Each structure stands twice: as structure tokens, then as C-alpha cells.
């Protein structure tokens, strides 16, 4: 009996904690439908009727859908490049014996430890010298080389790739690239999918690098656009519009999470936990 | 016939390997290695963002060392991270105890896990704006709720005091990251060989003893991993305080100015690029030393 009561208390505590994780988003969605003065006067869990007005206010400041499109233009190619080239590199490091393999692995491990901000200044300097400021290329191209993803997929290759199958394909005269595309990629796809979701969310949410590289508002990605709310003081008076802007930036991720939370959770432990 | 082909084939295979890793290696050299080396070089110069940099060797580092605002920024960052890691790991640990308990057998791990992890998925910019608006002194929903329910007599200016502003940043960071830590710890528990638990049960060990003698020691590597990654990430904190606390100033009176905000100020606002580079390397050295110390400490405790 005591066990039963304690268990119930545990569930209540857990549910309260879960509510703590959700309530800011709930308030965000509710407040997005209320007028600025309603929000300023009292708090409510009942949605208001000002959604359309807030939307009109918001869209007079900027085009959030454009920001979303810009974010997709960066995040989709970046994710695809990470997925394809990480798999290719990891595969080559696992199945071929070549000079420099160990060195490459060592460098990858070291760069996984190096904090990203260390290279921020040098990276900006490089982009300036290449005259690529305000271009999406320096946001996309570096995704070809993501050490953490290669590190994970290399381990993954070691556990899932059936060497005899590859050998058999080679005997049949299949070219190495053909083997990679037709046999290796499909076998690796669960691991690649896991890493890709993580990569996509990382790219979609990225703020600091786009902030320093993009300087024309029509190129702003969604986080940079949302952050530019800070400087437009007029809109700060209308909290409803701010909540709406934040809600629009958050809802796609919430929807994505509802459908593939399993993969997302899988991607967290993939990088860290080793047997 | 086989024997004839093999040496040639082997050579081809090696060549294929280089062809396969080439895109990675080139991109890596250009966009990862070069910027790190370039930043190091610039840290020895008086580079202002244009023209030819003049070598000043260790001048920037001497300046960083003597700069009380750098140390203040470091102190702020460590303080925010410290509060955050205690909350984050404490909560994650508690949840791990609950979900791995053999007596209560709490269900619904995957649902709770997903909900706890949700805040981590949202862009820091959106989180910052959401909380900045919710915590607004005069019109914020949080104050309305606290005053309305009688928990507080008058509205608190959360982001206006040097005590509460860093605390708010720390709590938001913990809110964003405890689910992540919990998932890591829980994965660690699930990775522990069931035989240990069965053997302990046969020996009649109580659940707290099992937890202290089996679960915690075996979780140590993951605990270390979570803490170090959190430290490396935490010392680079930027988005949340930058967006919630008035840009690189770190309002009020610099109490939320982190090292990377300080770096950003010199690198991208006042164009003292050489100095900013030295700040980056000073931060890197500190992260390196702390990681090594932490690693040694955790290993020592194990013995």
C-alpha cells in the first residue's frame, strides 16, 4: 500500500516536471492569440482572438516564411553533405588500409574536443578573404567535414558492415564507388538517419555563425531574424506579435519532434555512450 | 590468375581510399584547421580587421591576463555554468534513480524522456525571446502568475538585478539541458550488465546499496563525459545571455557578460581582432586545463 502511494507521488512529481518543460510553450501559443494589452494586464490560459491582428503586425516587420525558407536553403544541403561525406569518409577509414588513416582518426578526435569558438575569428577572416560574406556557401560547405559524425559512423561501420558481402561484390567486378552507393549506404542508413536529424536540428537552430556572416536582412535565417526583434523597439510594445514570431519558429520543430522523437533521442546517446 | 590481380587491385583500393576521404580532408583543412591556426597567428598580432597585421607576439596575452573585465567575464561564465550543472545533473541523477529503481518500476520512460528533452530542441534564440518576454518586469506572464497566486508580493525585475539575472540564465540553461543529461545517464544504466543486478539481488543487497555500489561506479565514465561536454559547451555560452541581457554588455552592469560575449565584442564590434583571438586561445587553455583536471579527479575517486 505504501509502495502504491509512493509510486503515485512519483508519477505526480514526474508529470509536474514534464509540465514545467511544456508550460512555456503553452503560454507562448496562448499569448500569440492575445492582444498586447491583454497580455500586459493579466495572464490567462484561454486563447484570445487577436491571432490575425498579431500576424498582421508581425508581417509588417518581416517575412518569417522567407526566414524559414532561408533556413531550409542552408540546413537541407548542409545536412545532406554531412550525411553523404561523413558516411564516405567513415567507410573508407573502416575498410581500407592506407597511410595516414591513424593520423586522420587522431586529428578527428582532437577536433571533436576543440571548442568551436576557438576558430570563430579565423573562420570569419577566411570567409572575408574568400569574399563570401553574406553568402550561404560558408554556412553549407563546412558541413562536408564534421568530425563528430565521422567518428560515430566509423564505429557504426565497424559493427554493421558485413565484410564478406563487400568482398563478394568486389569479386563480381563492382566498382568501389558502386559498392559504396548500392551496398554500404543502404546498410548504414539507420545510423546516417540518426546523425542527420541531429545535424539538421543543429543547422536549423544555429545562430552565432549566421549572425556574423549574414548582413542583409533578406538573407537572414530564422534564428537571426527572430533575434533582430531585439532592435525593432516598436514591436516590443506588442508582446502578442513577439509570442507569435517565436511560436512560428518553434512549431516546425515541435511537429518534427512529435513524429521522430525516437530517432532524435537515439542521436543523443549515439555520440557519447560507448560499450 | 587471382594472384596476378591482387597486388594491382590492392594498389587500386588504396587509391580509392584517398579518393573517398579527399572531400573530407580538403574541407577539413580549409574550414577547420586553417581557421584554428589563423586565429593563433592573429592572436600574436595587432590585427584590426583590415590591412597587414603587425606581429606583437605576446602583448595580447599579457593584456588578457591583466584585463579585469576578462576575468570578470570568466567568473560570470563559470558561475552561470556552475549553478546550471548542479541543477542539471542533480535533476538528471534524481530522474535516473527514479527510472532505474527496481522496486517501483516506474513506467512511461520513453514519453517522459521525450518531454524532458523537448526544451533542448528549440533554438536558443527562440528560448531567449520566449523567456525574455515571459519574464518582463511589468508585463511578463511569470510575474503575473506569481503575484496573482500570492507567491510574491510585488513584481520582481528578474533581468534587472545582478543576483537574479545570472540565476535566470543558469536556470534556463539547466532547463534546456537536464533532459539531455538524463538520457545519457539512463542509457548508461541500461547499458549495465543485468547480471550484476541479479547477483546483487541473490546476495540480498538492498536497492540503495545496489545503487551506490553498482549503478553509480559504473555510471562514472558517462558522468565524466556529460560533465566535460557540458563544461566545454558552458564556457562557450553566448546565445541566451547575449539575447536576454542586452547584447555584449551583459546587463545589468556586466553581470551576465560571458567570455564569448566579451570575445564577440572585440572581434566583431570594436574590431580588435588580435586581442579577440588571444581571448579565444586563453579560453581554450582554460577549457583544456579544466578538462584534464576533471578527468584526473574523476579517475582518482574511482580508486
Asked whether residue B302 carries a pLDDT value surpassing 80, the answer given is no
Residues in chain B within 8 Å Cβ distance of A163: none
Is some CB atom of chain B closer than 8 A to the CB atom of A112?
A: no
* Residue A44 belongs to some domain of the structure: no
Taking residues A125-150, what's their average pLDDT? 95
The residues in A 61-100 lying below 8 A from B, measured between CB atoms, are 85-86, 88-89, 91-93, 96-98
Consecutive H or E run containing B298: helix B273-302
pLDDT 10s digits, B40-74 = 999 999 999 888 899 999 999 999 999 999 999 99
* Residue A37 belongs to some domain of the structure: no
Q: How many domains does chain A have?
A: 1
* Residue A263 belongs to some domain of the structure: no
How much is the pLDDT for A178? 93
Tell me if A205 and B123 make a contact (CB, 8 A cut-off).
yes
- Dmax (CA) for chain A in angstroms is 76
Taking residues A234-261, what's their average pLDDT? 82
The minimal CB distance from A126 to the residues B38, B136, B235 is found for B38
The grid coordinates listed for B31 are: 574550414
The residues in B 236-295 lying below 8 A from A, measured between CB atoms, are 236, 238-239, 243, 247, 260, 263, 267-268, 273, 276-277, 280-281, 283-284, 287, 291
The grid coordinates listed for B228 are: 566535460
Residues in chain A within 8 Å Cβ distance of B287: 115
Name residues whose C-beta falls within 8 Å of residue B243's C-beta, 6 or more positions apart in sequence. Answer: A227, A230, B124, B125, B128, B129, B132
The residues in B 204-223 lying below 8 A from A, measured between CB atoms, are 222
Contact A62, A217 (CB under 8 A): yes
ipTM reported for the complex, 2 dp: 0.90
Structure pTM? 0.91
Beta bridge partners of B55: B45
Q: Does the CA dihedral A258-A260-A265-A268 come out positive or negative?
A: negative
Supply the range of the domain harboring residue A88: 62-231
* Residue A239 belongs to some domain of the structure: no
Nearest of A2, A151, A223 to residue B242 by alpha carbon = A223
Distance CA B14, CA A99 (A): 9
Cα(first)–Cα(last) distance of chain A, in Å?
A: 39
Is some CB atom of chain A closer than 8 A to the CB atom of B30?
A: yes
Residues in chain A within 8 Å Cβ distance of B283: 115, 117-118
The grid coordinates listed for B169 are: 540564465
Q: Does the CA dihedral B76-B82-B87-B89 come out positive or negative?
A: positive
The pLDDT-based confidence of A238 (bands split at 50, 70, 90) is confident
* Residue A40 belongs to some domain of the structure: no
* Residue A9 belongs to some domain of the structure: no
How much is the pLDDT for B211? 81
Q: What would the DSSP string read from start to end of A88-129? A: HHHHHHHH---TTHHHHHHHHHHHHHS-GGGGHHHHHHHHHH
Q: Does the CA dihedral B124-B128-B130-B131 come out positive or negative?
A: positive
**A interface test, pick of B93, B99, B118, B229 with most A CB neighbours within 10 Å:** B118
- Find the closest chain A residue to B96 by CA distance: A14
Is some CB atom of chain A closer than 8 A to the CB atom of B20?
A: yes
How much is the pLDDT for B54? 93
Q: Cis omega (within 30 of 0) on the bond before A165?
A: no
Is some CB atom of chain A closer than 8 A to the CB atom of B151?
A: no
Distance CA B180, CA A40 (A): 34
Contact B173, B240 (CB under 8 A): yes
Name residues whose C-beta falls within 8 Å of residue B244's C-beta, 6 or more positions apart in sequence. Answer: B128, B131, B132, B159, B168, B169, B256
Q: What is residue B213's DSSP assignment?
A: I
Residues in chain A within 8 Å Cβ distance of B230: none
Is some CB atom of chain A closer than 8 A to the CB atom of B133?
A: yes
pLDDT 10s digits, A41-52 = 888 888 989 999
Distance CA B96, CA B87 (A): 14
Distance CA B112, CA B139 (A): 32
Is some CB atom of chain A closer than 8 A to the CB atom of B137?
A: no
Name residues whose C-beta falls within 8 Å of residue A237's C-beta, 6 or more positions apart in sequence. Answer: A36
The pLDDT-based confidence of A110 (bands split at 50, 70, 90) is confident
User: Number of residue pairs across A and B with CB atoms under 8 Å?
Assistant: 263
Distance CA B261, CA B278 (A): 14
**B interface test, pick of A117, A249, A274 with most B CB neighbours within 10 Å:** A117
* Residue A195 belongs to some domain of the structure: yes
Contact B289, B274 (CB under 8 A): no
CATH code, A204: 1.10.3720.10
How much is the pLDDT for B188? 86
Residue B213: Cβ within 10 Å count: 13
How much is the pLDDT for A122? 95
**For chain A, percent helix, then strand, then coil, each to nearest 5?**
80, 0, 20
A87-119 in b/e form (b: 16+ CB < 10 A) is: bbbbbbbbbbebeeeeebeebbeebeebbbbbb
- Find the closest chain B residue to A116 by CA distance: B236
Backbone φ and ψ for A216, nearest 5 degrees, come out as: -105, 130
Asked whether residue A273 carries a pLDDT value surpassing 50, the answer given is no
* Residue A148 belongs to some domain of the structure: yes
The residues in A 125-184 lying below 8 A from B, measured between CB atoms, are 125-126, 138, 141-142, 144-145, 147, 150, 176-177, 180
Q: Where are the beta strands (DSSP E) in A183-258?
A: none
CA atoms within 13 A on the CB side of A101: 17
Amino acid at each position: 500500500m505504501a509502495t502504491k502511494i509512493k509510486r503515485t507521488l512519483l508519477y505526480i512529481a514526474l508529470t509536474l516536471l514534464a509540465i514545467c518543460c511544456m508550460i512555456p510553450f503553452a503560454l507562448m501559443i496562448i499569448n500569440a492569440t492575445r492582444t498586447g494589452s491583454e497580455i500586459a494586464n493579466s495572464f490567462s490560459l484561454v486563447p484570445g482572438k487577436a491571432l490575425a491582428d498579431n500576424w498582421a503586425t508581425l508581417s509588417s516587420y518581416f517575412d518569417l516564411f522567407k526566414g524559414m525558407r532561408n533556413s531550409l536553403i542552408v540546413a537541407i544541403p548542409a545536412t545532406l553533405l554531412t550525411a553523404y561525406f561523413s558516411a564516405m569518409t567513415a567507410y573508407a577509414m573502416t575498410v581500407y588500409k592506407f597511410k595516414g588513416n591513424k593520423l586522420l582518426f587522431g586529428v578527428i578526435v582532437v577536433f571533436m574536443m576543440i571548442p568551436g569558438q576557438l576558430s570563430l575569428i579565423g573562420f570569419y577572416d577566411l570567409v572575408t578573404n574568400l569574399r563570401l560574406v553574406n553568402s550561404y556557401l560558408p554556412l553549407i560547405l563546412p558541413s562536408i567535414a564534421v568530425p563528430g559524425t565521422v567518428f560515430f559512423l566509423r564505429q557504426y561501420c565497424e559493427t554493421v558492415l558485413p565484410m564478406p558481402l563487400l568482398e563478394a561484390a568486389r569479386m563480381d567486378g563492382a566498382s568501389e564507388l558502386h559498392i559504396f552507393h548500392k551496398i554500404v549506404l543502404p546498410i548504414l542508413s539507420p545510423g546516417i538517419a540518426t546523425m542527420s536529424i541531429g545535424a539538421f536540428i543543429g543547422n536549423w537552430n544555429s545562430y552565432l555563425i549566421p549572425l556574423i556572416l549574414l548582413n542583409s536582412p533578406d538573407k537572414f535565417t530564422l534564428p537571426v531574424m527572430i533575434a533582430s526583434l531585439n532592435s525593432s523597439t516598436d514591436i516590443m510594445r506588442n508582446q502578442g506579435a513577439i509570442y507569435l514570431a517565436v511560436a512560428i519558429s518553434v512549431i516546425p520543430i515541435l511537429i518534427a519532434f512529435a513524429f521522430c522523437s525516437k530517432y532524435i533521442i537515439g542521436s543523443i546517446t549515439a555520440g557519447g555512450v560507448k560499450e | 590468375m587471382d594472384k596476378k590481380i591482387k597486388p594491382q587491385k590492392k594498389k587500386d583500393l588504396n587509391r580509392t581510399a584517398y579518393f573517398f576521404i579527399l572531400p573530407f580532408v580538403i574541407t577539413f583543412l580549409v574550414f577547420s584547421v586553417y581557421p584554428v591556426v589563423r586565429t593563433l597567428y592573429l592572436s600574436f598580432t595587432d590585427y584590426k580587421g583590415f590591412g597587414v597585421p603587425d606581429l606583437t607576439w605576446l602583448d595580447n596575452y599579457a593584456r588578457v591576463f591583466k584585463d579585469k573585465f576578462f576575468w570578470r567575464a570568466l567568473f560570470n561564465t563559470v558561475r552561470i555554468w556552475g549553478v546550471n550543472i548542479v541543477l542539471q545533473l542533480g535533476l538528471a541523477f534524481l530522474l535516473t534513480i527514479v527510472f532505474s529503481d527496481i522496486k517501483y518500476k516506474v513506467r512511461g520512460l520513453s514519453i517522459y524522456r521525450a518531454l524532458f528533452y523537448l526544451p533542448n530542441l528549440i533554438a536558443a534564440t527562440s528560448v531567449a525571446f520566449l523567456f525574455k518576454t515571459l519574464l518582463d518586469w511589468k508585463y511578463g506572464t511569470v510575474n503575473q502568475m506569481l503575484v496573482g497566486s500570492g507567491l510574491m508580493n510585488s513584481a520582481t525585475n528578474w533581468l534587472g538585478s545582478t543576483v537574479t539575472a545570472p540565476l535566470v540564465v543558469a536556470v534556463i540553461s539547466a532547463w534546456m539541458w537536464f533532459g539531455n543529461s538524463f538520457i545519457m545517464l539512463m542509457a548508461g544504466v541500461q547499458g549495465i550488465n543485468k547480471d550484476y543486478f541479479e547477483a546483487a539481488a541473490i546476495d540480498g543487497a538492498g536497492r540503495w546499496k545496489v545503487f551506490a555500489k553498482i549503478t553509480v561506479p559504473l555510471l562514472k565514465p558517462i558522468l565524466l563525459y556529460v560533465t566535460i561536454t557540458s563544461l566545454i559547451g558552458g564556457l562557450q555560452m553566448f546565445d541566451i545571455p547575449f539575447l536576454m541581457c542586452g547584447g555584449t554588455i551583459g546587463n545589468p552592469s556586466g553581470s551576465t557578460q560571458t567570455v564569448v560575449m566579451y570575445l564577440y565584442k572585440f572581434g566583431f564590434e570594436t574590431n580588435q581582432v588580435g586581442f579577440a583571438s588571444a581571448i579565444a586561445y586563453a579560453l581554450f587553455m582554460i577549457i583544456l586545463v579544466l578538462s584534464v583536471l576533471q578527468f584526473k579527479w574523476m579517475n582518482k575517486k574511482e580508486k
